[in-house]
Amino acid sequence: MRRVFAEFIGTAMLLCAVVGSGIMAERLSGGNDGVALLANTLATVFALFVLIEVLGPVSGAHFNPVVTAVLAWRDPAPGAAKWRTAFFYAVAQLAGAVLGALLANAMFDQSVVQVSTKVRASPGLWLAEAVAAAGLIVVVLRAPPGRAAVLVSSYIGAAYWFTASTSFANPAAVVGRMCSDSFAGIAPASALAFILAQFAGGAAGALLAPWLRPATTSP
């Protein structure tokens, strides 16, 4: 239960940072989307780094159903226990994402319960989400011990800018962002395609990562 709660609170704080910084950036940027995206990126990178460092020793700091599913699939342990844990992790992540978005809305004196109207629907955006998720999984699986926090947060920060979708790369983030009609939001009608692209990209990343192991030298 401690591990599941860590996933819940970690995902909640991550989405609070994403949505809250999106609201703040939108208010202060004067309509300049580039400045707003930069502010949103920095807040997300810093929050993600801190949350992974603090909660990684407790739960692994997945905060993402795609990461949880891939790690459960790669876990050599037999039986249903790992999938039961993965299920509770995913439920906690989704619930935490919603709570984090609602908390951000409340802090900025907005309607607590919102539904985003920001449509994000095009083949380019779906491809961008698949690429973002694939890269994230490769980073997660190939990160050297003790380096996951800096590598994952750095990758997400970069992917905010090199992907057309600004790198959600996380079904929990999609669900949370649906609850904020702000710069960071996504309309419910756009959500399913994003989530499917993320799982497809995650599967591709899981298949690619083993091919990137360091080459062994001959005796």
Q: Which of 56, 12, 60, 25 is nearest to 160 (CA)?
A: 25
The answer to the question of residue 149 being in a domain is: yes
The answer to the question of residue 218 being in a domain is: no
Q: Work out the end-to-end distance of the chain between its first and last CA atoms, rounded to an integer number of angstroms.
A: 47
The answer to the question of residue 170 being in a domain is: yes
The answer to the question of residue 139 being in a domain is: yes
The answer to the question of residue 39 being in a domain is: yes
pLDDT at position 149, please? Answer: 97
Q: What percent of the chain has pLDDT over 70?
A: 98
CATH number, domain with residue 177:
1.20.1080.10
User: Tens digit of pLDDT for each residue in 129-184?
Assistant: 999 999 999 999 999 999 999 999 999 999 999 999 999 999 999 999 999 998 89
Q: Nearest-5° angle of CA 161, CA 185, CA 118?
A: 100
CA dihedral 25, 29, 30, 34 (to 10 degrees): -110
pLDDT at position 30, please? Answer: 87
Give the count of domains, the chain: 1
Q: For every residue of 82-100, which 3-state class applies, written as one string? A: HHHHHHHHHHHHHHHHHHH
The answer to the question of residue 219 being in a domain is: no
pLDDT at position 18, please? Answer: 97
**Residue 61 contacts residue 51 (beta carbons within 8 Å):** yes
Quote the domain boundaries for residue 148. Answer: 2-210
The answer to the question of residue 124 being in a domain is: yes
Could you tell me the CA-to-CA distances from 153 to 30, 50, 65, 103, 156 in Å, in that order? 27, 9, 17, 22, 5
User: Tens digit of pLDDT for each residue in 183-218?
Assistant: 899 999 999 999 999 999 999 999 999 988 776 655
